[in-house]
Structure 1
Amino acid sequence: MIKDIFVNLIVAFITFLFSTISHNRLRLKIYYQSLIRWNKSIRLSCAYLFRIRYNNEYLLIKGNRIDQYQPVGGVYKYYNSFNGLKENLELKDESESHFHENGDLRLVITGKHLVKFIDWFDTRKNREVTVNRELIEELEPSGISIENLMKQSQIEYLKTIKEPITFSTHFKMDELKIFEIFEVRIPKGILDEVIKSSHYQLIEANEIERQCLSQNGLDRKISETSKYII
């Protein structure tokens, strides 16, 4: 009997250990990656993206800075209350010559502070947590009633994506991108008005997977991040 209890305890411990590793494998990978980049600069980009479906297609928007179709969404903002921690973690704002706007959670950090930053981000303190701002900014050019959009739409959190750290050829440094994905259920009547604008495009899932839209004999790029909304 004692032997059975002992065996059961060992099995329970091993199960718990493997379950913990499985659920935290990405975090452990990021922790390892941060150690080998202890004094190395890492670019951070923390954004939210919207899954907006119209029948069996997905609504994407033309990029303002890059010639591509991409999900509706944008980067989070941090608040003044973050400045103390920002100084402690030796965070620097990204150069304005790139995509940075005041208060953007597009920052540069060294590996030694990375895990603390991720822990802070997950608390949702000192930063924007509502996602209405970018939804309004990105759909307003279609000419729809923003009041009706906000009153009649439902926004539901789906998942968080923390990409592994990789080298960015564009920014010439290592980069960690975090995306929070939300589904927005917008009444069909409102979407009917949105898609009248050439600024938006309905895209099928297989086109998103191929990262390419063939249109009028031309191929248009679809952003890699669009895969996260499928």
Structure 2
Amino acid sequence: MAISAGAASFFITNSIVVNMTAGLSVGLFVPVVDEIAQNWGNIRNLWYSVRYRNRSIRVSTSYLFKIYIDGKYLLIRGNRYRNQFQPVGGVHKVSPQGNATLSAMGVTDDDLIPLDAVSYGDLRVRVPGKRIFQFFQWFDSRQGREDSPWREFQEELLAINILPQTKFPHIMHNYLRREVDSIRFSEWAEEMEILVADIYELVPNQEQEDALRQLAAYGHPDIVWVSSQQIKRRGASSGQPQTIEISAHSRRIL
């Protein structure tokens, strides 16, 4: 009887110890996982800086507008690729102060897009691999670079009177998310590449909604209104001949 009691006590005690150990392990594990999740971008960039320290990495950062009215998305004809439509938006610009910071890192201009009045100051660059972490720390600080989507909205829709400037003296928008593609080899660039896109959503007032509906009703040769399915299919519609081409990166606004 004494042996049975002792055995029972042994198992109870060990069960308590096991449960306490398991509870402590879970209690420690969850905060660690949370910390990793919250800092995953930094961890990833730090790894890139080590893994690709002796290579040059092409980095292109942009912002895109989701303009959505009555179940349709507004897309605009591309400036460089006139046969395709894409979201309003473009590459971030860098200020002279930002250029000085990037030069100190050894960052150079990308040579795939001709440097002209349109592309001057674009944040489409070649970053020394060992500086990737430092580059994204600078990018996230928002110092010395464009931090508003207004410029491209104004240039692409208002300056050429696709939308009336009187109805859009200012705009309200929501910041939705940032998409950072995993590093990959780009056959086009013949280099490792990271693409970054900040996604914004236009929040029009009633007068601006009316102007957008009027644009949809009357049409414009440089504008299309498309469904999410058309965007996913790059412009194709079921049972109909394809009449437009939609850029691959348009999926980001869905």
* TM-score using structure 2 length: 0.80
1:19-73 CA distance string (max 9 Å, x none): 2223344543343333221121111111100000011111111112123211110
1:159-174 map, 5 Å:
159-174=177-192
1:170-217 CA distance string (max 9 Å, x none): 222111111111000232221134342120111111111222334973
Q: Are 1:73 and 2:94 counterparts?
A: no
Conserved 8 A contact 1:51-1:183: yes
| Structure 2: distance between partners of 1:213 and 1:142 | 28
Conserved 8 A contact 1:40-1:111: yes
1:105-116 map, 5 Å:
105-116=123-134
Match for residue 12 of structure 2? Answer: none
Aligned-pair distance for 1:134?
Answer: 0.3
Match for residue 130 of structure 1? Answer: 148
- Aligned-partner residue type, residue 253 of structure 2: I
| Structure 2: distance between partners of 1:16 and 1:114 | 27
| Structure 2: distance between partners of 1:64 and 1:96 | 16
1:39 equivalent among 40, 54, 61: 54
Please, which moves more after superposition, 209-218 or 105-114? 209-218
1:190-201 map, 5 Å:
190-195=211-216, 196-201=219-224
1:103-157 CA distance string (max 9 Å, x none): 1111111110001111111111111112111001111234432242134x32111
- Unaligned segments of structure 2, at least 5 residues: 1-15
- Aligned-partner residue type, residue 111 of structure 2: S
1:188 equivalent among 209, 212, 217: 209
Please, which moves more after superposition, 61-70 or 3-12? 3-12
Aligned-pair distance for 1:222?
Answer: 1.6
Conserved 8 A contact 1:214-1:220: no
Q: Are 1:89 and 2:98 counterparts?
A: no
Q: Which structure is higher in strand share?
A: 1
RMSD: 2.5
Match for residue 213 of structure 1? Answer: 236
| Structure 2: distance between partners of 1:98 and 1:35 | 31
Aligned-pair distance for 1:6?
Answer: 6.2
| Structure 2: distance between partners of 1:121 and 1:148 | 33
Match for residue 148 of structure 1? Answer: 167
Bigger radius of gyration: 2
Please, which moves more after superposition, 201-210 or 184-193? 184-193
Conserved 8 A contact 1:149-1:190: no
| Structure 1: distance between partners of 2:143 and 2:113 | 28
- Aligned-partner residue type, residue 166 of structure 1: R
1:65-120 CA distance string (max 9 Å, x none): 12321111011111111233212210101227447722111111111000111111
Match for residue 227 of structure 1? Answer: 251
Aligned-pair distance for 1:218?
Answer: 3.0
Please, which moves more after superposition, 31-40 or 131-140? 31-40
Conserved 8 A contact 1:41-1:173: yes
Over the matched positions of the two proteins, sequence identity in percent amounts to 29
- Unaligned segments of structure 1, at least 5 residues: none
| Structure 2: distance between partners of 1:144 and 1:110 | 41
In structure 2, relative to structure 1, the CA distance for the partners of 1:222 and 1:31 (3 Å cut) is farther
* TM-score using structure 1 length: 0.88
| Structure 2: distance between partners of 1:172 and 1:16 | 41
